[in-house]
A = this chain, B = another copy of it.
């Protein structure tokens, strides 16, 4: 029987090595896999590259992971938020590397990684400092910049419902980066609000089919709070 469910956060985090690239889903607090991020803090891997839309808030979650010195580099579109002081302090001190990526380019680069596209052209960022040093090409009279795929060794994803094959649904705007990161992660770990029986999910309504998922942990924490 295929059973991707794991019983403990330790199993969910097993094998994440030092130096791994970890994709972290969510947009603000919505759809953010908080239990898995805490699990990663507990697990101990360091020298990580984190790919997430934001660079952490307050002193919890991603900010805590950074504060513990476990993040070598962060790839994100929006490093600043209401309280991103941990990131900013580390960054000013030269203790963390930053790659700013336009949000859509970031999503597309991960989708490309999941779809077997190692590089693609895009009009986003042409002529700006985020395209500096990158190859450009004129195609049909418009200039484009070449962007490469952004795969993860691990993707941490939050779902609303999951079954033992790893089929996922999401809740409202909690979908955001999660399905894209699930595609791009070599090992995709999911925390889900609801575990359902195989066959309970309408096959027309599955957003992330189980082929993109490796481990499923049941974390019925309720509603997101704060941003």
* A interface residues with partner B (beta carbon < 8 Å): 108, 112, 115-124, 137, 139-140, 142, 144, 148, 169-170, 172, 202-205, 207
Interchain residue pairs with CB less than 8 A apart (19): A108-B115, A108-B117, A117-B120, A117-B121, A118-B121, A118-B139, A118-B142, A118-B144, A119-B121, A119-B137, A119-B144, A120-B121, A139-B148, A170-B204, A172-B203, A172-B204, A202-B205, A204-B207, A205-B205
CB-CB < 8 A to A139: which residues of B? 118-119, 148
CB-CB < 8 A to A144: which residues of B? 118-119
Instruction: Give A120 to B140 CA distance when docked, in angstroms.
Output: 15
Instruction: Give A148 to B121 CA distance when docked, in angstroms.
Output: 10
CB-CB < 8 A to A202: which residues of B? 205
| Contact among B117, B124, B140, B207 for A122, CB-based, below 8 A | B117
Min C-beta distance of A114 to chain B, whole Å = 12
Pick the 6 closest A-B CB pairs, nearest first: A120-B120, A118-B139, A117-B120, A119-B121, A205-B205, A118-B121
* Closest residue of B by beta carbon distance from A137: B119
Q: Is the CB of A204 within 8 A of B169?
A: yes
Contact A112 B120, CB 8 Å, known A204-B169, A205-B204, A205-B205: yes
* Closest residue of B by beta carbon distance from A147: B117
Residue from A116, A137, A139 having most chain B Cβ neighbours under 10 A: A116
Residue from A142, A172, A205 having most chain B Cβ neighbours under 10 A: A205
Min C-beta distance of A89 to chain B, whole Å = 35
Residue from A112, A118, A202 having most chain B Cβ neighbours under 10 A: A118
CB-CB < 8 A to A137: which residues of B? 119
Residue from A115, A120, A207 having most chain B Cβ neighbours under 10 A: A120
Instruction: Give A202 to B207 CA distance when docked, in angstroms.
Output: 13
| Contact among B119, B124, B140, B203 for A118, CB-based, below 8 A | B140
* Closest residue of B by beta carbon distance from A111: B115
Min C-beta distance of A176 to chain B, whole Å = 13
* Closest residue of B by beta carbon distance from A202: B205
List 16 additional A-B contacts (Cβ < 8 Å) besides A117-B121, A119-B120: A108-B117, A112-B120, A116-B123, A116-B124, A117-B122, A118-B121, A118-B139, A118-B142, A119-B139, A119-B144, A120-B120, A139-B148, A169-B204, A170-B204, A204-B205, A204-B207
